[in-house]
Amino acid sequence: MSTEPDLFKGFEAITIDVGSVTIFARTGGNGPPLLLLHGYPQTHACWHKLAPALARNHTVVVPDLRGYGRSSCPPSDATHRAYAKRTMANDMLQLMAKQGFARFAVMGHDRGARVAYRLTLDYPDAVSRLAIVDIISTLDQWRPEHQTTRDRIHHWAFMAQPAPLPETLIAANARDWIEARLKRGARGNVLTGFDPAALDDYVRSHADPDRIHAACEDYRAGATCDLADDRKDFDASNKIVVPTLVAWGSVGSLADIADPLAVWRPWCTNLFGARIESGHYIPEDNPDALLAYAESIFKP
């Protein structure tokens, strides 16, 4: 039985056909629209500590990205475009449009943050404000000077290997894989910051072979077409012009980068940032601190 009604009390569950996929989401609250995007190896449930508070002043939409949670898994091909961040960004644009929102704010964590900044670059008229949580751009992630950062998140290279190698190895013990990923990024390398119901949702989703493959395709896209899309925008000096918050954890994925804002500054014209006492999974590890910064940028 699903535990999520307890995680998102007062939120409605919806499933929306956006064209090539169906997207599952929770929605609740009143006010200006705000889209929250999860990362790997999670689902929309990662926002359960923040969404109710944000819903006091916003209409909050909390989806599962394609291939994750309860959203559908489209077929993949050699281009990996089915799981490109550009493709996922279009899903989110269509999802919000079908809720009646032509312009909205967006906050993303981890892979969801990559969808969020791609959405903002591709559809600048649709995004009013942006919050990026504990990442640098995909292009910057692959730069030689960030080798140390890549070494700390070695699953990037592993999951981008050709199918079916990573899929087979992950499927051999999906729960151990998911818990190991979460522990590695969590403050103190423990799972105590994760609600058991949310953790069960992550494991349940990623125990499905189709979703294991989808997640690997997400990372294969990150090493190919997402990288190419970023490089094209960077070379063309395309900028994110909306107010943009970059938040990172003190012991998160960017802990070895002296100044994450300096990495983002070439991408953004209206940027500010916050170092939060947290591991990588800030929405669950230190939601109160993230909420304070989010409310400052998303204030109606």
Which residues are catalytic, by number?
110, 280
Q: What are the backbone dihedrals phi and psi of residue 120, each rounded to the nearest 5 degrees, phi first?
A: -70, -40
Residue 246 buriedness (CB in 10 A; 0-12 / 13-18 / 19+): buried
With tokens 């926002």, the residue in question is: 47
CA gap 68, 198 in Å, rounded: 14
Q: How far is residue 106 CA from its own chain's centroid?
A: 11
How many residues are recorded in the chain? Answer: 300
CA gap 91, 107 in Å, rounded: 15
CA gap 21, 220 in Å, rounded: 19
With tokens 């989401």, the residue in question is: 25
Which of 254, 16, 270 has its CA nearest to residue 134? 254
Q: What DSSP state is assigned to residue 268?
A: B
Helices then strands, counting H and E runs in the chain, come out as 15, 8
CA gap 265, 239 in Å, rounded: 10
With tokens 């906050």, the residue in question is: 107
